[in-house]
Amino acid sequence: MAKSPHILKTKVGIIGGGPAGLMLSHLLAKTGIENIVVEMRDHETIRNTHRAGILEAQAVSMLTDSGVDSRVLTDGDEHAGIDLRFNGESHPLDFRELVDATVTLYAQNEVFVDLSAARQRDQGDVRYGCEVTEILDMDTSTPKFRFTDAQGNQFEVHADVIVGADGSRSFARRQMPQTLCQDFKVTYPFAWFGILTEAPKSAPELIYANSPHGFALISQRSENVQRMYFQCDPNEDVNAWSDDRIWAELQQRVDGPDNFQLKTGPIFDKTVLGFRSFVREPLSHGRMFLIGDAGHTVPPTGAKGLNLAFADVKVLFEALDSFFSTGSDKLLEGYSDLALKRVWKAQNFSYWMTSMLHTPVGGDPFMAKRALGELETVTSSRFGQQYLAESYTGWPHA
């Protein structure tokens, strides 16, 4: 006879220990709301997963004000703008001057490292390498989930609320009744080829380049490590790209009469990043709530993914705090509608930045020229610049 699972009782059972799940766990714990985090991947894998690197000021505050760590302030790099480069020319946008806001360049894996260390410091219950196999009774007041840990031991978490924070391929999302939800999605005919290189900075801030050869993004990680991306085919094989070939491709996408030259160096990481816009509505069913990529995915242009996940965390945390302190589930019931307002603004922004900066696949000359017309409109107007700056630096949290 199969052994019955060990029962773990808690208030909030969080499926997924990436930045969204850990941030929520941290805020709940600080308020005295007991929670357990269960993550499928191991710590090392998440730590070495390279994602975007731009944090809105509000995301930075969530880390510093809640006492996660202030490393984001010392090791992060505050950026007051970006450069939109097209027709071989630079068009700097000064966010500080336009909307009195800045962003911080701090890699998502560093955010994970800080959050994970904070949960360990505060003796949080975070378990890596655990596979969630079943979610039960999510439409009752006693939802549960089962998981198997790395040693094969079986557990059943009994909670008041379950949160799905398990990323774009979310298991939690797939357990919601399909007939009661709707998925909205866009697929794109391109992807990004991302590299990490040991080289000096090519520019003080980020360059988003539209070129006839395709989009390129020149970003950074530190004084001597840089992050860059270029638009590629979704099925591109990274092994077919030597360092020389990558540098030639990137350079031709930023070439211009100003003779701007990338600073090159050895490339030590190459990955193809898929593109997708996706939203699940609603973001909840009964006592289960989705946050971050589990509920919605944006294409990477504009780096909204993690920022949006943190905005979800803020809304859900406040709803949970109210639920556990007053017993009223009014805010929990409003979570999905409130979070979705920002989700759709970010979907629009990410789609807009993507379509304006990428080269249409199939080489439709009208669409390519139209995008240049849009870039010209945005950069030649103060209103246009402010619209982009306000969205990029992040609308106020709900």
Catalytic residue from among 128, 300, 335, 358: 300
Smallest separation (angstroms) from ligand DHB to the CB of 224: 15
The distance of closest approach from Cβ of residue 203 to ligand DHB in the complex, given in angstroms and rounded to an integer, is 13
| Rounded Cα gap, residues 277 and 185, in angstroms | 5
CB of 167 to ligand DHB, least distance (A): 17
DSSP 158: E
Select from 81, 167, 295, 302 the one that contacts ligand DHB (CB under 6 A).
302
124 versus 300: smaller Cβ distance to ligand DHB: 300
Q: What is the DSSP letter of 340?
A: H
Q: What token pair was written down for 114?
A: 């800080």
Beta-carbon-side half-sphere exposure of residue 131 (alpha carbons within 13 Å)? 6
What are the distances in angstroms from CA 228 to CA 198, 254, 272, 295, 336?
11, 12, 12, 27, 35
Nearer to ligand DHB, 197 or 301 (CB): 301
Query: What contacts 46, CB < 8 A, 6 or more positions away?
Result: 17, 18, 39, 109, 112, 116, 128
Would you say 228 or 288 has its CB closer to ligand DHB? 228
Q: What is the DSSP letter of 362?
A: T
Site for ligand DHB contains 354 (CB under 6 A): no
CB of 362 to ligand DHB, least distance (A): 24
Q: Rounded to the nearest whole angstrom, what is the least distance from the CB of residue 227 to ligand DHB in the complex?
A: 5
Is 229 an annotated catalytic residue? no
Q: How far apart are CA 389 and CA 94, in angstroms?
A: 8
Residue 392: active-site member: yes
The verdict on 227 binding ligand DHB (CB under 6 A) reads yes
Min dist. Cβ of residue 103 to ligand DHB (A) = 9
State how far the Cα of 26 lies from the Cα of 34, in Å rounded to an integer.
10
Q: Least distance in Å: CB of 194 to ligand DHB?
A: 7
Distances (CA, A) of 66 to 24, 28, 107, 111: 11, 11, 19, 13
Query: What's the min distance (Å) between Cβ of 300 and ligand DHB?
Result: 4
Helix (H) or strand (E) holding 350: helix 330-357
Is the distance from CB of 319 to CB of 336 less than 8 angstroms?
Answer: no
Query: Is 144 one of the catalytic residues?
Result: no
φ, ψ for residue 184, nearest 5 deg: -120, 130
- Interaction of residue 300 with ligand DHB, rule CB under 6 A: yes
Out of 144, 304, 314, 358, pick the active-site residue. Answer: 304
Q: Which of 26, 106, 144, 208 is catalytic?
A: 208
For the question of residue 106 being annotated catalytic, the response is no
Query: Of 106, 128, 335, 392, which residue is the catalytic one?
Result: 392
Give the number of other Cβ atoms within 10 Å of residue 215's Cβ.
23
Which residues does residue 273 pair with via DSSP β-bridges, in sequence order? 192
Closer residue to ligand DHB (CB): 13 or 53: 53
Residue placing its CB nearer to ligand DHB in the complex, 220 or 385? 220
- Asked if 389 interacts with ligand DHB (CB under 6 A), we say no
CB-CB contact of 27 with 317 (8 Å): yes
Q: Which stretch binds ligand DHB (CB under 6 A): 243-251, 296-304, 311-319, 322-330?
A: 296-304
**Any contact of residue 16 with ligand DHB (CB under 6 A)?**
no
Kindly identify the residues of this chain, within the stretch 192-211, that bind ligand DHB according to CB under 6 A.
206
- The yes or no reply on residue 301 touching ligand DHB (CB under 6 A) is yes
CA distance 39 to 224: 32
Question: Which residue reads 């007991």 in tokens?
Answer: 34
With contacts defined by CB under 6 A, how many residues of the chain interact with ligand DHB?
11
> SS3 for 385?
helix
Told to judge if 300 belongs to the known catalytic residues of this protein, a careful annotator would answer yes
Q: Which is nearer to ligand DHB, 37 or 267 (CB)?
A: 267
Confirm or reject binding of residue 219 to ligand DHB (CB under 6 A).
yes
- Between β-strands 161-164 and 77-79, what pairing exists: parallel, antiparallel or unpaired? unpaired
Among 29, 159, 250, 303, binds ligand DHB (CB under 6 A): 303
Count CB neighbours of 196 within 10 A: 18
As beta bridge partners, residue 86 has 89
From residue 36 to residue 75, the character string flagging contacts with ligand DHB as x (rule: CB under 6 A) and all else as - is ----------------xxx---------------------
Binding site for ligand DHB (CB under 6 A): 52-54, 206, 217, 219, 227, 300-303
Catalytic residues, by residue number, are: 79, 208, 300, 304, 392
